[in-house]
Amino acid sequence: MSLVIGLDTGGTYTDAALLDAASGQVLATGKALTTREDLSIGLGGAIARVLDTYVTRNGQTDGAKSGGGKPGDIGLVSLSTTLATNAVVEGVGGRVGLVMIGFDEATLERADLARALGQDPVAFITGGHKPDGGVQAMLDRDTLRHAAKTLGDEVSAFAIAGHFATRNPEHEIAARDLLRELTGLPITCSHELSSALGGAAPRPDSVTECTADQSTGTVDHGHGSDHGRPGADLSVDGGQG
């Protein structure tokens, strides 16, 4: 059985629902107060209510299986980013460091990135690719290391935009791995968000999505109930409404 827990963090309540993806049947629902200081607390409470209902209805009590209904049945936990989206709109998210590979400063104005960034820092790194995916210039790892050292304590996350990364994401991936190794911070790459071409004009959503990601960075889907924890993958889904 392919089971999914869907979560939505609203301004007051955090809602959870357990869905059988194959049949479309809702098996259990749960609700808890949203805890803005640490979203994982409210999410853990909502997940626990769903698991308790599912396990109890299916005959498993005190951790002993008697006919099904175990947390291991759940294959995916899907989190809606309502609060993270609100954080972007309200401008209350943490600071994001933008790493631009193969671009010049004029790109900020052309792509409307200056408005999206506000006062957040930008690092311009030599590198990037051509429209055919060939190397435009070698990735300047020394400057990237310097950016990690100087910006690592100023920001909560990094967004990386590489010139024609949709054609060849090699430099974005290399930069992501190096920044992650040096800072341990959340990182979003532009090629992960869209496959649409726009090599000379990186999209502002690489910054806003990064803000959204770090706004939900405290979420640990390992929270469960007394009956156990769902050993499931976590999907963070953007709300467009």
Give this prediction's pTM. Answer: 0.59
Q: Are residues 37 and 55 in the same domain?
A: yes
Q: Are residues 113 and 210 in the same domain?
A: yes
Block means of pLDDT (10 residues each) for the chain, 241 residues, are 83 90 89 85 90 74 48 80 65 80 87 75 95 95 96 90 93 96 92 65 53 50 48 56 47
pLDDT given for residue 94 in this prediction = 73
pLDDT given for residue 73 in this prediction = 79
Q: Are residues 192 and 113 in the same domain?
A: yes
CA angle 113, 115, 117 (to 5 degrees): 65
Q: Are residues 134 and 45 in the same domain?
A: no
Provide the domain count of the chain: 2
Q: Is residue 88 part of a domain?
A: no
Q: Is residue 35 part of a domain?
A: yes
Q: Are residues 208 and 103 in the same domain?
A: yes
Residues facing 162 on adjacent strands: 101
Half-sphere exposure in the Cβ direction for 187 (13 Å, CA): 21
Label the pairing between strands 122-125 and 96-101: parallel
Write out the residue range of the structural domain in which residue 164 sits.
94-215
Q: Are residues 11 and 122 in the same domain?
A: no
What CATH number is given to the structural domain containing 157?
3.40.50
Q: Are residues 34 and 135 in the same domain?
A: no
pLDDT given for residue 64 in this prediction = 43
Q: Is residue 99 part of a domain?
A: yes
DSSP letter string, 143-189:
HHHHHHHHHTTT-SEEEEEETTTTT--HHHHHHHHHHHHHH---EEE
How far, CA to CA in Å, does 189 sit from each of 160, 165, 175, 186, 206?
5, 9, 9, 10, 7
Helix (H, G, I), strand (E, B) or coil at 137: coil
Q: Is residue 89 part of a domain?
A: no
pLDDT given for residue 164 in this prediction = 92
DSSP letter string, 46-68:
HHHHHHHHHHHHTT-BTTB-SSS
Q: Are residues 11 and 124 in the same domain?
A: no
